[in-house]
Amino acid sequence: MTLRPGFDSGVAWAYLEPFVAHALEAIVAGGAPQIVQLFCGDGYLAPALFQRFPDTHLYGLDPSRDALAAAAGRVSEASMFQPSVIESFPSTLPAASFSHAIAVHPPVAHWQNVLRESARLLAPRGQLVVCSPSGRAFIELFDLLRECALKLDRTDVAANLAGHAIERNVPAHLEQAWTSIGFTYVEATTHTFELSFSDANALFSDPAWLQYILPTVATSAGLTQVDPAFRYVRDAIDRYWSDRPFGLTVELACVSARRGQ
């Protein structure tokens, strides 16, 4: 199983912060919550989580040992943060042991793993919060990929974009997909913000592009990250936005659900 490597959240914080803020806002907790974060990376969520819920016990799962080492180093409440490497699903954590599970911008390829592992780890009535790009995120990029498919006769790209992976998971099919796994009271809210880039080079060299946007768009479109279609996108941005900054729409969906009995 191929899992996402570790990353440095700080260099892409302007992009990641809205996802973190809305995920934290959705958490409903009392007492001393037992929270597991899937794909916790370098512990970027922990400081704000401990500030809001001081008695939290946080368990972080991530495939990168380096990211988990960075997380352990940055979290002052070390005794209340327990990192664990996940090499495959299901993890080694015990079932039905957590009051909350949270995933912020999980890899698109592991959407089902996130849902199924959360369903396994949560106690009955436990809350799952996922904050991820919605089906209308990065619309400018998907439009350019559709143009590429038409002009370069990339029928494979056209077929993949007819129902790309984000649209299949967030938010249109949430209730059906999540309830079949064992969740109830599924609620989703969407929030939109825009990123601005002076040109294509600024976008393609930005840490948010490298760590989050490109992997999400590529996986959703069924492409590798080095597919020539992205060269077309890069050239098209410089052609169409030659006289103004390129604005990229980011719509996120924040979803809350409860584990069934």
21 DSSP 8-state letter: H
Q: Hey, which residues does 256 pair with through a beta bridge?
A: 129, 187
Q: Tens digit of pLDDT for each residue in 186-230?
A: 888 999 999 999 999 999 999 999 999 999 999 888 899 999 999
Q: How far apart are CA 155 and CA 177, in angstroms?
A: 28
Question: Cα-flanking dihedrals φ and ψ of residue 257, to 5°?
Answer: -150, 160
Give Cβ neighbours of residue 206 (< 8 Å, ≥ 6 apart).
12, 197
How does DSSP classify residue 9?
A: G
Q: What is the pLDDT of residues 136-186, one digit of tens each?
A: 899 999 999 999 999 999 998 888 888 666 665 555 556 667 788 889 998
Q: What is the pTM of this model?
A: 0.90
How high is the pLDDT of residue 2? 47
Domains, in order of start, for the chain = 9-134+164-193+250-259 (3.40.50.150), 139-163+194-248 (no CATH)
Q: What is d(CA 130, CA 20) in angstroms, rounded to the nearest whole number?
A: 10
Contact 67, 105 (CB under 8 A): no
